[in-house]
Amino acid sequence: MKRIRFRDPAGSVRTGEWIDGDLRFADDSYDPDEVDVLAPSDPTKIVCVGLNYADHAAERNKDVPDRPLLFLKPPNAVASHGSTVTLPAAKERIDHEAELGVVVGEQCRHVAEEDAMDVVAGFTCANDVSNRDDQDREQNWVRGKAFDNSCPLGPVVATPDEVPDDAAVRLRVNGELRQESSRDQFIFSVPELVAEITTYLTLESGDVIITGTPAGVAPLEDGDRVEVEIEGIGTLSHDVRIP
């Protein structure tokens, strides 16, 4: 099943199903072009995982971590499918990062690896937009990672059974393929990440874990169209505006 949040023509926020290109809520069907697609959840926080692909660690000249490298994005970072993402001005390099997003289904703490999938509502597509100018200068990555619109999510939440263990992860900019890998290349699996994160903090229903990006990150430019495609989920698409 694929769930989608949207604002219907009357302005009501709905959570419905995505079925064969149509949006369904109760007994109603909607044309996707006639509604506003919203971010697939309303997280209190986004827990991000750095360097979870060995090839990306290599391209960033970093060692592969011996435990998950974690940082946070706040709710203001969320942007939706179909939006125009406004990025900070006067920066030399702001990169795209295609990632699998894990949407949490219930409040949880101290979740064992073997129970981790019980608290996962499903998966979505994410783009961890990264301001390298400031990320490479600061320790906690607030300027580099937590700025407005730095985490487009969507378009749907696909239940775990929809997404293969080796699901392909791809990113295109203006139709050009820049990133391509698969979920089975993770250094730390989804259950390992859920267990590690909930050792330290409580996850709330709707929170999102973004699981790291493969090699191929590259700068974005004003006017770019970005597409993050993950097998079993679909394609998150957004435009880029740089003042």
Q: How do the pLDDT tens digits run along the chain, 243 residues long?
A: 999 999 999 999 999 999 988 899 999 999 988 899 999 999 999 999 999 999 999 999 999 999 999 999 999 999 999 999 999 999 999 999 999 999 999 999 999 999 999 999 999 999 999 999 999 999 999 999 999 999 999 999 999 999 999 999 999 999 999 999 999 999 999 999 999 999 999 999 999 999 999 999 999 999 999 999 999 999 999 999 999
Q: Which domain holds residue 151?
A: 39-241
In a shared domain, residues 124 and 10: no
Check whether residue 33 and residue 47 sit in a common domain: no
For residues 180 and 234, membership in a common domain is answered with: yes
The verdict on 119 and 229 lying in the same domain is yes
- Transcribe 9-49 into DSSP letters: TTS-EEEEEEETTEEEETTEEE-GGGSEEPPS---S-EEEE
> Does 18 lie in the same domain as 64?
no
Alpha helices (H) along the chain = 54-59, 132-135, 142-145, 190-200
CATH, residue 96: 3.90.850.10
How far apart CA 233 and CA 4 sit, in angstroms, is 11
Based on the domain organization, do 51 and 12 belong to the same domain?
A: no
pTM of the model: 0.97
Residue 211: partners with Cβ closer than 8 Å, 6 or more residues away: 49, 52, 99, 100, 101, 102, 186, 190, 193
30 shares its domain with 132 = no
62 by DSSP, 3-state: which? coil
Same domain, 127 and 178: yes
Taking residue 94's Cβ as centre, other Cβ atoms within 10 Å add up to 22
Other beta carbons within 10 angstroms of residue 14's beta carbon come to 18
Of 34, 38, 69, 31, which Cα lies nearest the Cα of 53? 69
Tally the domains of the chain: 2
Same domain, 64 and 86: yes
165 plus 183 within the same structural domain = yes
